């Protein structure tokens, strides 16, 4: 069960930092290898969610099951919201009672920034 101060997927907004959230990995979307100043880095995107909705998660690990994210953040990529986490800020947990609301996918909403 998530801690009292843990956020939900539905509450995520652009440019949000310090996100603590528990999500279930629904399925992998893509895995690509990038060149980061001569160092090869593999980046993964997974659809993750909870009972309030789902979002695409960007990380450097192939994920399964339920994970707790600490100090995550959101960013807009090509107008669409992503949840981002570093390796040291996530852990697998044994909670199998996480249901995912697929009908509320925050990554399908187009965000337009006003200047």
Q: What is the per-residue pLDDT across 49-85, written as a single tens digit (0 to 9) for each?
A: 999 999 999 999 999 999 999 999 999 999 999 999 9
Instruction: Return the pLDDT at 5.
Output: 64
The answer to whether residue 19 is domain-embedded is: yes
Answer whether 56's CB lies under 8 Å from 107's CB: yes
Residue 85: which CATH number? 2.40.50.140
User: What contacts 73, CB < 8 A, 6 or more positions away?
Assistant: 15, 16, 17, 18, 19, 83, 84, 85
The answer to whether residue 107 is domain-embedded is: no
**What's the domain count of the chain?**
1
Whether this prediction's pTM lies above 0.85 is answered by yes
More confident residue, 32 or 113: 32
The answer to whether residue 77 is domain-embedded is: yes
The answer to whether residue 109 is domain-embedded is: no
CB environment 71-107: b (16+ within 10 A), e (fewer)? ebbbeeeeebbbbbbeeebbeeeeeeebebeeebbbb
The answer to whether residue 111 is domain-embedded is: no
The answer to whether residue 59 is domain-embedded is: yes
The range of the structural domain enclosing residue 35 comes to 9-102
Q: Which residues, in sequence order, are bridge partners of residue 38? A: none
The answer to whether residue 41 is domain-embedded is: yes
- Which of 18-27, 30-39, 104-113 is most confident? 18-27
């Amino acid at each position: 069960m998530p801690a009292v101060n843990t956020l939900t997927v539905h509450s995520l907004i652009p440019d949000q930092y310090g996100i603590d959230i528990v999500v279930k990995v629904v399925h992998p979307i893509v895995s690509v290898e990038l060149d980061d100043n001569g160092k090869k880095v593999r980046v993964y995107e997974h659809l993750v969610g909870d009972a309030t909705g789902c979002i695409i998660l960007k990380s450097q690990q192939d994920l399964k099951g339920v994970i707790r994210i600490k100090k995550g953040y959101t960013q807009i990529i090509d107008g669409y919201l992503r949840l981002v986490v570093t390796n040291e800020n996530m852990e697998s947990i044994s909670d199998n009672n996480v249901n995912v609301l697929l009908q509320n996918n925050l990554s399908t909403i187009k965000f337009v920034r006003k200047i």
